[in-house]
Amino acid sequence: MSEPGRPSSNPKHSGHAFATRAVHAGWDPFAERTGAVMPPIYMTSTYVQDSPAQPRHGYEYSRTQNPTRFALQDALADLEGGAAAFTCGSGMAAVHTLMLMLKPGDRIVATRDLYGGSHRLFSKIEQRFGLIYEYRDTSAPGAFDALPEDTRLVYLETPSNPTLGVTSIAAAAEAAHRVGAELAVDNTFATPALQRPIEHGADYVLHSTTKYIGGHSDVVGGALVVKEAARGEEFWFHQNSAGTINSPFDAFLTLRGLRTLALRMERHCASAAALADFLEGHPGVDRVLYPGLASFPGHQAARAQMSAFGGMISFVLPGGLAQATELVRRCQIFALAESLGGVESLIELPAPMTHASVPAEQRRAIGIEDGLVRLSVGIEDADDLRRDLEQALRSSR
Ligand SMILES: *Cc1c(COP(=O)(O)O)cnc(C)c1O
């Protein structure tokens, strides 16, 4: 939230296109003492006061206010079209900070194939505090029919992880608001470069900035963007009270990554589209899940709310876990690792890795087969990436 003496938001660029704002939002060099084009990393825990309770520039303590964090927060609020943003030590800390607004007995209707860590937080921790979680295939027709009256929050991931299911944000917002609930969208996979949930009616947007926003696999972080300024006050209080902030250094690194988001996403999307086509035409692949494929069930819904289809692809191998394991072993550019959204291409198997915390039976029910492979397509040469998969598929048959 705005604080006195903050040289951060950059109104000069408010009318500009996304790619311009990605480079300039959150920091105005002309308003800064030295004209620095990037914010200094304010590694300070506290600030001097002129007299008791009279901080000189409105800054008291770095959990509460830090100019480097504010620059990142303001940039994210601008790019998502929200009133305010709060950055956290991790994506999970941002999700947790959002849940702090709820109270026992409140119902959360959530996408069923959530990020594994979000599922764990909800089922193993938040539920102990009396929150009621109900999981649905939010991408299915009629998914929001008959939302119970005690629903307080609808919580979406779209595209979802790892099956890339697409949920209509506008339909979810309408259904949530009809019963007096709010809508939160985890926008980690799409980023505001491709999809801005607030424009479609969402009240909150979440990010693991560890992924595309940071973009270089060198910093863990999260963000919560709020549509309404009044809600912003509430979350500022929660972030400060619970201490879910990120460090000034991490805020700096994340902002540095954010500056090239528009450019990186273009390459991620173009290369992923080419690889999805290649995989779909490959006789050794059973099924390809990518929102950009005309054959994908969520394709039309994706077109309605995304400007391009992202850098994540999942596909199913007929030989199950054994064949998938062999494939990931043979890849030479795609590195076997969890996480996503960095400049380097990654490959992983959701069943034994990112989604191992989801019970096996439930995994199968939500489409996470043992032969499911997930790619995070990086910004390397697209032909090199295709050849890498080609040779790995050839020898894993
Ligand atoms: C990684 C991820 C998270 C959790 O973020 P961390 O930064 O790892 O805490 C939440 N949601 C999605 C979709 C993610 O990919």
Which amino acid is it at 236? W
Q: What ligand 1 atom has the least distance to the C-alpha of 117? A: 4
383: pLDDT confidence band, cut at 50, 70 and 90?
very high
Predicted local confidence at residue 7, as pLDDT: 44
Same domain, 196 and 53: yes
Minimal-distance CA residue to ligand 1 atom 8: 91
Same domain, 241 and 128: yes
Catalytic residue status for 115: yes
In a domain, 5, yes or no: no
Would you say residue 397 has pLDDT above 70? Answer: no
Same domain, 216 and 246: yes
- The helix (run of H) or strand (run of E) holding residue 324 is helix 320-330
Distance, in Å, from the CA atom of 38 to the CA atom of 26, rounded to the nearest integer, reads 10
Predicted local confidence at residue 2, as pLDDT: 45
Please count the CA atoms within 13 angstroms of the CA of 78 that sit on its side-chain side.
29
Mean pLDDT of the region 150-160:
97
Percent of the chain with pLDDT over 70: 97
Which position among 74, 186, 370, 388 bears the catalytic label?
Answer: 186
Q: Is 52 exposed, middle or buried (0-12, 13-18, 19+ CB in 10 A)?
A: exposed
* Residue 281, domain CATH: 3.90.1150.10
Catalytic residue status for 186: yes
Predicted local confidence at residue 14, as pLDDT: 81
Minimal-distance CA residue to ligand 1 atom 6: 91
Same domain, 271 and 385: yes
113: pLDDT confidence band, cut at 50, 70 and 90?
confident
In a domain, 293, yes or no: yes
Q: Which residue from 163, 164, 188 has its CB within 8 A of the most atoms of ligand 1, so it is best to mutate?
A: 188
Same domain, 226 and 245: yes
Predicted local confidence at residue 9, as pLDDT: 67
Minimal-distance CA residue to ligand 1 atom 4: 91
Minimal-distance CA residue to ligand 1 atom 2: 208
Q: Pseudo-torsion of CA 361, 112, 376, 388, nearest 10°?
A: 40
Distance, in Å, from the CA atom of 17 to the CA atom of 22, rounded to the nearest integer, reads 9
Question: Ligand 1 mean position to 217 CA, how many Å?
Answer: 13
Same domain, 212 and 329: no
Q: Do strands 335-336 and 346-348 pair parallel, antiparallel, or not at all (unpaired)?
A: parallel
Residues 6+ apart with CB under 8 A from 52: none
User: Residue 38 corresponds to which tokens in the numbers above?
Assistant: 């990037």
Task: Give, in order, the Cα–Cα distances in Å from 163 to each of 109, 113, 274, 368.
Answer: 19, 7, 19, 7
In a domain, 47, yes or no: yes
Which position among 115, 135, 204, 290 bears the catalytic label?
Answer: 115
Distance, in Å, from the CA atom of 114 to the CA atom of 12, rounded to the nearest integer, reads 38
User: Residue 197 corresponds to which tokens in the numbers above?
Assistant: 């949930």
Would you say residue 248 has pLDDT above 90? Answer: yes
Predicted local confidence at residue 3, as pLDDT: 54
For every residue of 198-241, DSSP letters joined together read GGGT-SEEEEETTTTTT-SSS---EEEEESSHHHHHHHHHHHHH
Predicted local confidence at residue 396, as pLDDT: 67
Predicted local confidence at residue 194, as pLDDT: 98
Mean pLDDT of the region 143-158:
96
Pick the last residue of a domain from 258, 273, 299. Answer: 258
Distance, in Å, from the CA atom of 43 to the CA atom of 59, rounded to the nearest integer, reads 13
Q: Which residue from 87, 88, 92 has its CB within 8 A of the most atoms of ligand 1, so it is best to mutate?
A: 92
Q: With a 6 A CB cut-off, is 211 part of the ligand 1 pocket?
A: yes
Same domain, 250 and 267: no
Catalytic residue status for 28: no
Contact, 276 vs 288, CB < 8 A?
yes
Which amino acid is it at 269? C
Question: Ligand 1 mean position to 34 CA, how many Å?
Answer: 36
Same domain, 273 and 378: yes
Q: Could you read off the pLDDT of 273-325 as tens digits, one per residue? A: 999 999 999 999 999 999 999 999 999 999 999 999 999 999 999 999 999 99
Angle between helices 91-99 and 229-242 (to 10 degrees): 110
* Residue 112, domain CATH: 3.40.640.10
Which position among 6, 112, 196, 211 bears the catalytic label?
Answer: 211
Predicted local confidence at residue 5, as pLDDT: 44
Q: With a 6 A CB cut-off, is 117 part of the ligand 1 pocket?
A: yes
Distance, in Å, from the CA atom of 254 to the CA atom of 73, rounded to the nearest integer, reads 10
Residue with tokens 């270089």: 216
In a domain, 353, yes or no: yes
Q: Could you read off the pLDDT of 19-69 as tens digits, one per residue? A: 999 999 999 999 888 999 999 999 999 999 999 999 988 999 999 999 999
Q: What ligand 1 atom has the least distance to the C-alpha of 339? A: 1
Q: Which residues of 18-38 are buried (b: 16+ CB within 10 A; e: fewer)?
A: beebbbbbbbbeeebeeeeee
Distance, in Å, from the CA atom of 348 to the CA atom of 108, rounded to the nearest integer, reads 29
Nearest Cα to Cα of residue 342 among 190, 213, 215, 191: 215
Catalytic residue status for 212: no
Contact, 106 vs 131, CB < 8 A?
yes
Residue with tokens 């000189």: 56
**Residue 367 per-residue DSSP state:** T
Question: Ligand 1 mean position to 188 CA, how many Å?
Answer: 7
Pick the last residue of a domain from 216, 234, 258. Answer: 258
In a domain, 66, yes or no: yes
Looking at per-residue pLDDT, the higher value among 357 and 224 belongs to 224
Q: Do strands 204-208 and 372-376 pair parallel, antiparallel, or not at all (unpaired)?
A: unpaired
Question: Ligand 1 mean position to 60 CA, how many Å?
Answer: 31
Predicted local confidence at residue 92, as pLDDT: 98
Q: Please give the residue range of the domain that contains residue 196.
A: 11-258
In a domain, 2, yes or no: no
Q: What ligand 1 atom has the least distance to the C-alpha of 161? A: 13
Residues 6+ apart with CB under 8 A from 223: 72, 73, 76, 85, 86, 87, 88, 94, 205, 206, 207, 209, 213
User: Residue 112 corresponds to which tokens in the numbers above?
Assistant: 């069923």
Q: Could you read off the pLDDT of 76-85 as tens digits, one per residue? A: 999 999 999 9
In a domain, 4, yes or no: no
Question: Ligand 1 mean position to 94 CA, how many Å?
Answer: 9
Same domain, 288 and 139: no
Same domain, 79 and 113: yes
Same domain, 235 and 306: no
Pick the last residue of a domain from 205, 225, 258. Answer: 258
- The helix (run of H) or strand (run of E) holding residue 346 is strand 346-348
Q: What ligand 1 atom has the least distance to the C-alpha of 221? A: 7
> Total structural domains in the chain?
2
In a domain, 123, yes or no: yes
Same domain, 170 and 309: no
